[in-house]
Amino acid sequence: MAALDAAPPLLETTGLTRSFGGLTAVRDVDFRLEKGEVRAVIGPNGAGKTTFVSLISGRIAPSAGRVLFEGEDVTALPAFRRVRRGIAYTFQITSIYANLSAEENVALAAHQPGRGGSIAHLERVGLAGRAGQIAGTLSYGHQRLLEVAMGLALQPKLLILDEPTQGLSDAEIEGFIGLVRDVARDATVLLIEHNMPVVMALAHRITVLDRGSILAEGSPAEIRANPAVQSAYLGSG
């Protein structure tokens, strides 16, 4: 009876595959993400990390396999409908509205015109003082934080962050670590990140991709001690 009552994972993929011509970027990935986790996905350049989260968010369609969210098959749903289900994805390349203010970007993301909520989300990422600044004039690191604020405005169940600390100063990275810990009280976080101290500080579990397949999964300590991971990724610097 207990097994029948057990809740499904928040996110699950089975046999997830994506090919581009003769290149298979993601190969037969079975993946489970439990509600409340902070999960990091790491791997060398070209490992398929961004393709993998693009498949989860619906930005691209799989060549094979399925994506389940809260136990429901969402494989055929476009990205905007997955957003409505609670999946928010901040892109690796900034996707802000460059000619609008930071505040307007957040309001537009949330589909809620009005100052209060937007300012709150900007304050959460440390950008409240730049609410009126045109987004395209923000530094690259601040544009990344604005993306995070836009994702938070969607009040997601799953927040996918793709290289969020790229372009941030050391002080901003420390602030970001605190932010993710705060976000994780209400949402599940899936993080692609090259900054290994950030990964080790935040992740409950780590999934290592290599050439489109899962090489290893485990706690930060297990991943750090894994010889195959050291050879494929960590040892390469």
Percent of the chain with pLDDT over 90: 68
Statement: residue 218 has pLDDT above 70: yes
Residue found under tokens 């420390």: 174
Confidence of residue 78 (pLDDT cuts 50, 70, 90): very high
- Strand-strand pairing, 64-69 and 11-20: antiparallel
Domain ranges for the chain: 2-86+156-236, 97-154
Q: How many CB atoms lie within 10 A of CB 215?
A: 20
Q: CA-CA distance, 159 to 183, in Å (whole number)?
A: 9
**CATH number for the domain running over 2-86+156-236:** 3.40.50.300
Question: What confidence category does residue 90 fall into, taking pLDDT thresholds of 50, 70 and 90?
Answer: confident
> What share of the chain has pLDDT > 70, as a percent?
92
With 90 as the cut, is the pLDDT of residue 223 above it? yes
